[in-house]
């Protein structure tokens, strides 16, 4: 199965590292069967998760303490958490997905553990090696047919998720157009293709959108841009309300975001439309299909005092409808909050069903049809 050639678009969600980190009572993923049944009830048929290849590459049966990223969101654990036997856990989860007809997109955020084993990746071959170790475990379990694609690194080459490129997670990201980055992407994927030639590969992206026209994406099977209205690459929304990701001023964000959006709705709606259109143009120029698993309204949100989900969900719905109508996406998410820990969004089953129905019945460009 591939995501570059499909019978119809997939309705995909992102459960990143939460699927294995948030397993304490009430965290949302303590019962995988229940969480997946609820996902299917809402109409989704694909999920993107963190496979933790850097841990599996060290010891698939080991125990690792993962450190929290302290984000303004409820992705993953809010404190340190132990992950035990990541290889067998991945196999168990994928098997449960396949039992329900849910395809799995494998990705990784290269989360930091106490030994910081992610920094053992020093070159393209190392990155391919840990992924090959991971895919062999999936293959040996007879589950490769449940894999929709492999995203070798979330939001590449952001230093937060790819610190091995720079020796630090605080470095400024290198342009995607440099020879080193192009070589890294091309050779790591080529090494994986040599053994797992039936899978689709990509490196997802969330910034450097201005370089789309200059990038070499010939090694990618599909493009995965993460597009939000408030992405600094797309609009000045965050700057206008005085929010910075470094400051983590979430209470300020909650207080200011909704009224500022509503007061300037046409302008910010137009910004989202503009960047969806630019992604469509990128797809047409390169001949590559689009997949988006993180989008459309705001990057960070959560259940919080004074937090109103209504405006976020309305803007996400607008983004879904525009992307679906373009015929260029082979998998579309409704947001990056589509998981049981985000109760304000998760509880509205009808909202999810309306949008997943739109996604799965949307038109598809002829060159992407299987």
DSSP 88: H
- State CA 268 to chain mean position distance: 23
Residue 3 lies in a domain: no
Q: Tokens 């990618």 belong to which residue?
A: 220
The arithmetic mean of pLDDT across residues 25-44, rounded, is 98
Say if residue 127 is exposed, middle or buried (CB neighbours under 10 Å; 0-12, 13-18, 19+): buried
Q: What is the per-residue pLDDT across 115-132, written as a single tens digit (0 to 9) for each? A: 999 999 999 999 999 999
Residue 4 lies in a domain: no
Q: Which pLDDT band holds residue 196 (cuts at 50, 70, 90)?
A: very high
Strand partners, 47: 13, 104
**Total number of domains constituting the chain:** 1
CATH number of domain containing 329: 3.20.20.80
Residue 2 lies in a domain: no
CA atoms of 326 and 307, how far apart (whole Å): 32
Overall residue count recorded for the chain in this entry? 370
Q: What is the per-residue pLDDT across 247-283, written as a single tens digit (0 to 9) for each? A: 568 889 999 999 999 999 999 999 999 999 999 999 9
For 335, the domain range is 10-368
Residue 242 lies in a domain: yes
Q: Tokens 């789309």 belong to which residue?
A: 212
Residue 85 lies in a domain: yes
Residue 347 lies in a domain: yes
Q: What is the per-residue pLDDT across 313-347, written as a single tens digit (0 to 9) for each? A: 999 999 999 999 999 999 999 999 999 999 999 99
Tokens of 99: 């039992």
CA distances from 200 to 29, 218, 279, 311, 351 (A): 27, 13, 19, 35, 30
The arithmetic mean of pLDDT across residues 191-212, rounded, is 96
Q: Is the pTM of this model over 0.85?
A: yes
Say if residue 28 is exposed, middle or buried (CB neighbours under 10 Å; 0-12, 13-18, 19+): buried
Say if residue 1 is exposed, middle or buried (CB neighbours under 10 Å; 0-12, 13-18, 19+): middle
Q: Apex CA 204: angle with CA 3 and CA 123, to 5°?
A: 110
Q: Which of 246, 194, 186, 236 is nearest to 216 (CA)?
A: 186
Residue 5 lies in a domain: no
CA atoms of 158 and 225, how far apart (whole Å): 13
Q: Which of 238, 254, 236 is nearest to 246 (CA)?
A: 238
Residue 258 lies in a domain: yes
Q: What is the per-residue pLDDT across 284-298, written as a single tens digit (0 to 9) for each? A: 999 999 999 999 999
């Amino acid at each position: 199965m591939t995501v570059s050639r499909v019978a119809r678009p997939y309705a995909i969600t992102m459960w990143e590292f939460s699927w294995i980190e948030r397993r304490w009572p009430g965290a949302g993923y303590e019962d995988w069967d229940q969480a997946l049944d609820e996902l299917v009830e809402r109409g989704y048929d694909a999920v993107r998760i963190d496979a933790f290849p850097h841990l599996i590459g060290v010891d698939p049966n080991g125990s690792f303490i993962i450190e929290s990223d302290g984000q303004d969101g409820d992705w993953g654990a809010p404190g340190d958490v132990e992950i035990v036997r990541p290889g067998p856990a991945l196999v168990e989860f994928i098997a449960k997905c396949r039992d329900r007809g849910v395809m799995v997109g494998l990705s990784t955020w290269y989360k930091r553990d106490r030994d910081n084993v992610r920094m053992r990746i020093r070159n393209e071959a190392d990155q391919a090696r840990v992924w090959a170790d991971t895919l062999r475990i999936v293959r040996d379990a007879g589950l490769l047919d449940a894999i929709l694609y492999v995203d070798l690194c979330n939001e590449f080459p952001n230093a937060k998720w790819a610190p091995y490129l720079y020796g630090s997670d605080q470095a400024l990201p290198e342009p995607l157009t440099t020879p080193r980055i192009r070589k890294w992407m091309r050779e790591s994927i080529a090494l994986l293709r040599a053994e797992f030639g039936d899978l689709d590969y990509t490196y997802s992206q969330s910034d450097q959108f201005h370089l789309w026209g200059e990038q070499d994406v010939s090694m990618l099977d599909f493009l995965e841009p993460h597009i939000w209205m408030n992405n600094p690459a797309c609009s000045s929304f965050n700057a206008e309300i005085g929010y910075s990701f470094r400051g983590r001023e979430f209470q300020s964000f909650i207080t200011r975001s909704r009224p500022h959006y509503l007061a300037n709705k046409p302008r910010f709606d137009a910004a989202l439309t503009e960047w969806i259109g630019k992604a469509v143009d990128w797809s047409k120029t390169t001949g590559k299909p689009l997949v988006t698993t993180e989008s459309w309204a705001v990057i960070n949100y959560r259940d919080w005092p004074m937090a109103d989900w209504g405006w976020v969900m309305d803007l996400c719905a607008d983004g879904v409808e525009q992307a679906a109508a373009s015929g260029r996406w082979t998998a579309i998410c409704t947001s990056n909050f589509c998981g049981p820990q985000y109760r304000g969004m998760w509880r509205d089953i009808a909202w999810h069903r309306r949008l997943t129905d739109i996604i799965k019945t949307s038109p598809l460009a002829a060159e992407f049809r299987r």
